[in-house]
Amino acid sequence: MVSNSNAVAWAEILQLRANKSRMAAELLWRYHQQRGQVRPEWAQLQRLVETTQFYSLKDRIRYLRLSQERKSGADERNTLALRLSSAEKLQLPLFHELQEVASETSHEERRMAAKKCCHDLNQLQSIRELFEVAGDFGLGHLQLAIAGFSGAKMAHDVVATLWVSLLFPRTESLYSEKQAPSSPRELFPLLMLRPHQEFFLSKQEVAPAKPIARPEPKLLRWRMLTFLRELREVAPDNHTLWEARCVGTLLEFSNCLWLQNCSPEAPQSPGFGREGDASAGSPLINETCLWVATEVLSQEPFNMSLADLVTFYAEMISNLHVWHKQLQEIVPAYLRAKPWLWPSEEDVHLHLSQVATVVLAGWLREAERLCNSSGFEKEKAEHHFAQVWRRSADGLLAGLYLRLNGSKHATAQRLLVEVLRLEKSCRLLLEQVVYLGPET
């Protein structure tokens, strides 16, 4: 057994060598641990986390986790938990992305910059530093995650810029060279060309890279829903990042763009196979057009009701001329130079008309069911139906009729029949409503 005096001398020797020797630093930590010296043990763990030598990012994450387990104070544990989440969910995925760049890119300058950043990222970085590095390399998916994790309130134009950088990176993708120039996947390189199916969760470290499926109509939906699900794990639902107008508009335009280019067989515009009720799930509907409304906007964190969706798409379509022009202008030049079919305003209107028709049909069915109930629920439903009709549904149906009626496109003519049917059904329900409510 080592005497106390010898143990103290041994500790002093380890202390002197800890800054120059990884083994000495770890032995010093274990020395304090074995003797139940909680404060010195925790202090040494912090030095292992922060030291500028010897340790990889994975080592620091392990020591952070140990520090969190050994700290009893709630405030300190919460602080350590935040640092650990930042390191695992943001810095580690960023490190892996830059490792790919440093080892595979053909651009020597970018390869050397990535190699230097990888060296720096072996030490824990602040949220601001991670955000800047992700931006320097055009990794918009990580910039969104870092911004959401930070909790900082952001202005509308900043939020819009971040979402645009995900879908349309401002510089040519790091991954573009991995696909043939004719591949539609290059339309959304961060979603389609990255070697990992995960985006910024640490599980991508151990999951083997799987090839992305061939371009098909449902591929954008799958990749985007995966991204949004992971983003919600780092960005709280009440963050300003989740701005429905910005996200919904960009996703609808992107879906229209994707459907026009993903395969030669796909029709350039959605349409009905025959006249009939435009309800979700019906064989008359091209379901690949509907996922933004049914699987994004109607789900958390947006939680839009059918009435909310009617108002949302009424506003989106009424402002189509403005935002379509803005989106066309912000698409980077390197993407504009590709031989893609960029959707015209009419193409986007046809796409949104189908979505809006489905939303209107669902809203009408729900209203009919509630207005045919009894008691207070019936009165409330009638009042609400009349409000939504006056606020948005009437104008939406009128606008759809005018624009579709002026189009010679076969899809527009099929949609027009459905719009007329919906307007007639809505007016029949209005005749049954006794109390129409105030003009608000």
Classify 4-81 by CATH class: mainly alpha
The pLDDT of residue 35 is 74
The pLDDT of residue 181 is 45
The pLDDT of residue 214 is 62
Average pLDDT over residues 181-210: 68
| 51 band by pLDDT with thresholds 50, 70 and 90 | confident
| 242 band by pLDDT with thresholds 50, 70 and 90 | very high
Task: Say if residues 239 and 151 touch (Cβ distance below 8 Å).
Answer: yes
Judged against a pLDDT cut of 90, whether residue 121 lies above it is answered with: yes
Contacts 24+ apart (CB under 8 A), 187-192: 187/257, 187/258, 187/261, 187/335, 187/338, 187/340, 188/220, 188/223, 188/254, 188/258, 190/139, 190/140, 190/141, 190/166, 191/141, 191/166, 191/167, 191/220, 191/223, 191/224, 191/227, 192/219, 192/223
The pLDDT of residue 282 is 39
| Token reading at 220 | 């954008």
Average pLDDT over residues 240-262: 94
Residue with tokens 């993903």: 262
| 204 band by pLDDT with thresholds 50, 70 and 90 | very low
The pLDDT of residue 1 is 42
Judged against a pLDDT cut of 70, whether residue 211 lies above it is answered with: no
Residue with tokens 């955000």: 131
One-letter amino acid of 238: N
What digits encode the pLDDT tens for the residues 65-105?
888 777 666 777 788 888 989 999 999 999 998 988 888 75
The pLDDT of residue 206 is 45
Residues near 236 by beta carbon (within 8 Å), at least 6 away in sequence: 148, 151
Q: Other CB atoms closer than 10 Å to residue 140's CB: what's the count? A: 24
More confident call, 232 vs 270: 232
What digits encode the pLDDT tens for the residues 392-405?
999 999 999 999 99
Q: What is the pTM of this model?
A: 0.84
Q: Other CB atoms closer than 10 Å to residue 330's CB: what's the count? A: 11
Return mean pLDDT, the chain. 82
Listed in order, the ranges of the chain carrying CATH 1.25.40 are 4-81
More confident call, 220 vs 55: 220
What digits encode the pLDDT tens for the residues 137-189?
989 999 999 999 998 889 999 999 999 999 988 776 666 544 444 567 778 88
The pLDDT of residue 48 is 77
| 201 band by pLDDT with thresholds 50, 70 and 90 | low
What are the start-end ranges of the E strands in 79-192? none
**Orientation of helix 244-261 relative to helix 320-330, angle to 10°:** 70
Report the share of the chain in percent with pLDDT over 70: 78
What digits encode the pLDDT tens for the residues 335-379?
666 667 888 999 999 999 999 999 999 999 999 999 988 877 888
Question: What is the b/e burial string over 222-251, where b = at least 16 CB atoms within 10 angstroms of the residue's CB?
Answer: ebbeebbebbeebbeeebbbbbeebbbbbb
